[in-house]
Amino acid sequence: MTYTALARKWRPKSFAEMSGQEHVLKALGNALDSGRVHHAFLFTGTRGVGKTTVARIFAKCLNCEQGVTAQPCGECASCREIDTGRFLDLIEVDAASRTKVDDTRELLENVQYAPTRGRYKVYLIDEVHMLSTHSFNALLKTLEEPPPHVKFLLATTDPQKLPVTVLSRCLQFNLKRLTTGLITARLAHILEAEGIDSEAGALRLLATAADGSLRDALSLLDQLLAYGNGHAREEEAVAMLGTVNRAHVVEIAELLAAQDAAGLVRHAQQLEQWAPDYAQLLDELNSLMARVAVLQVVPDAAADEDGYAPELLDRLKGQMAAEDLQLYYQIGLLGRRDLHLVSDPRVGFVMTLIRMLAFRPQGLGHGPAPTAMAAPASQAGSAAPTPRASAPPQANPAAVAAALPAAVPAASLATLTPENWGSLAQRLELSGLARQLASNCAYTGRQDALLRFALDPRHQAIRSKSQEDKLAQALSRYFGETVRIEIEVSTPPADTPAVAQARRADEQLGAARAGLDRDPTVLALKERFGATLHPESVRVTGPGADEG
């Protein structure tokens, strides 16, 4: 007895049987009905979303004996042969196994010949991104100007690897990942048609595990039917997929709502006997938190495809504060992200749950304190409560304002002189070229809010409009008023900050060398061992040295 896999048995034979992808089907249907059919189509998308299925149905539409239409009859010889893979004028190629240029040339040798029996000769090239560069070059000319009886249908999961010359010659259609609801509905329809009883929870688990791929969902359904001896029950689905029953996720959420840290730790330890995927557990918990948060903001929001009972969601919505939910969700995301960093994922999972209760928003007047974190009642009279066990006192805004230091008044432009420009330039909020520009300018005077500077001609290369603007902005912030600057490239009348700094550094270095020459230890080394002091090796370091 021959068994046909569900993914093959239930492959759609017309656009009407497709699940989702309406944006692609509408465009193809309009093109077929109007007769404006391009010669090359590219279908992209992740695995199992219907790329080759759409291509085969499209080939059937082109070659149906009833005429080119978006609704092929499915009864004529051409339609039946395409369904069974025996139609001579539909040439299907797996590019992953035929990557060489010789394979492509052999494929294109018969392009110029008319179809054997159909209206069009259709080339369906799957995983086209696997072709070599030479293969693409061999295909390019034919793809650009094919004979009128030839259509190219290309499919790929990785369109980024296709040359732009190929992309520009095709109509591109991106097939989307299917939603969990669509996949669940399709699985339910198939099982009903097959006469197999199923549980909604099992189908939802399969749809979630398929990650947007209907073909993967059907393969998992085949596996579940084999595992469950012809039944699709949630218990078998949980065991087969290695997931943890959602009742545990609900239990964790309720313990969080009750602020029961001890209960959370105990429950997390009990989960270890099922060897769960803790990352998936956090994903499920975050999904539940997000659903409850949405219901708090929009009570009449449409039901998600999550399978949680409305009564449970209503209960959690009333037990959890909005601030708590936001905190739980954020900590859950961070814990999920960092779970791979710990040697034992269970420890990371437990710590994530504990953090959800340890870092509560302050000042919330609802909900009990975490039971495992409150001080024992026996210690209430003998010791002061710890900061974690009692809310911090609310600060008086007036007292806080009085305790803040008074704002430092902005300096006056009148205080700026050529003598103090060097020290002021070092205090400006500047970096990079703007700081160098200020250091190599000498202040020459001002007229109201216009400050004039002389730039050392040796450094005029660092001058630019953007750097001047940065210097003017820094001066405006320093003086607390809008300042304009005017820079003239000329010999500065006084030392620039950079020159003054270099001079101080030379003086310090000279003093250091002179001090070493008089140092008793150095003199003793010279006298006893004939040592020589190399002046160029002396460096001035430490807090007292100027920055060079």
Q: Where do the H-state alpha helices sit in 195-260? A: 200-210, 214-227, 234-241, 246-257
* Helix (H), strand (E) at residue 275: none
Residues 450 and 531 in one domain: no
Is the domain of 142 the same as that of 250? no
**Locate tokens 């539909």: which residue?**
90
Give the model's pLDDT for residue 189: 93
pLDDT of residue 30: 93
pLDDT at res. 348: 92
Supply the pLDDT for residue 513: 82
**398 falls within a domain:** no
Using CA atoms, how far apart are residues 121 and 255, in angstroms rounded to an integer?
A: 64
* Residue pair 191/198 in contact by the 8 Å Cβ criterion: yes
Torsion angles phi and psi, residue 5, rounded to 5: -60, 145
Distances (CA, A) of 301 to 110, 114, 296, 310: 58, 57, 9, 12
Would you state the pLDDT for residue 373?
42
Chain centroid, CA 491 distance in Å: 55
Distance in angstroms between the alpha carbons of the first and the last residue of the chain: 88
Cα angle: 504, vertex 508, 511; to 5 degrees: 140
> How many domains are there within the chain?
5
Q: Do the strands 450-455 and 441-447 form a parallel or antiparallel pair, or are they unpaired?
A: antiparallel
Nearest to 5 by CA among 198, 219, 188: 219
Calpha distance 307→179 (Å, rounded): 14
Averages of pLDDT over runs of 10 residues in the chain (548 residues) are: 84 91 93 92 93 94 91 91 91 84 83 89 92 88 89 93 92 92 92 90 87 92 91 86 80 90 89 83 90 88 69 87 90 91 90 86 48 41 40 42 39 83 88 89 89 90 88 89 90 88 86 81 76 71 47
Instruction: Write down the pLDDT at residue 543.
Output: 45
Domain that holds residue 319: 246-358
**Measured CA angle at 37 (ends 32, 41), to 5 deg:** 110
Following CA atoms 347, 353, 355, 359 in sequence, which dihedral angle do they give, to the nearest 10 degrees? -170
Residue-level length of the chain: 548
* CATH number, domain containing residue 428: 3.30.300.150
Distances (CA, A) of 262 to 100, 265, 346: 64, 5, 16
Is there a single domain that holds both residue 297 and residue 204? Answer: no
- Total Cβ atoms within 10 A of residue 332: 24
pLDDT value at residue 387: 40
Q: Are residues 63 and 194 in the same domain?
A: no
CA–CA dist 128, 161 (Å, integer):
9
Instruction: Report the C-alpha gap between 494 and 500 in whole angstroms.
Output: 9
pLDDT at position 376, please?
A: 41
Q: How many CB atoms lie within 10 A of CB 297?
A: 8
Q: How many CB atoms lie within 10 A of CB 181?
A: 14
Has residue 470 been placed in a domain?
A: yes
Q: Tell me, yes or no, whether 422 lies in a domain.
A: yes
In a domain, 384, yes or no: no
Residues 110, 207 share a domain: no
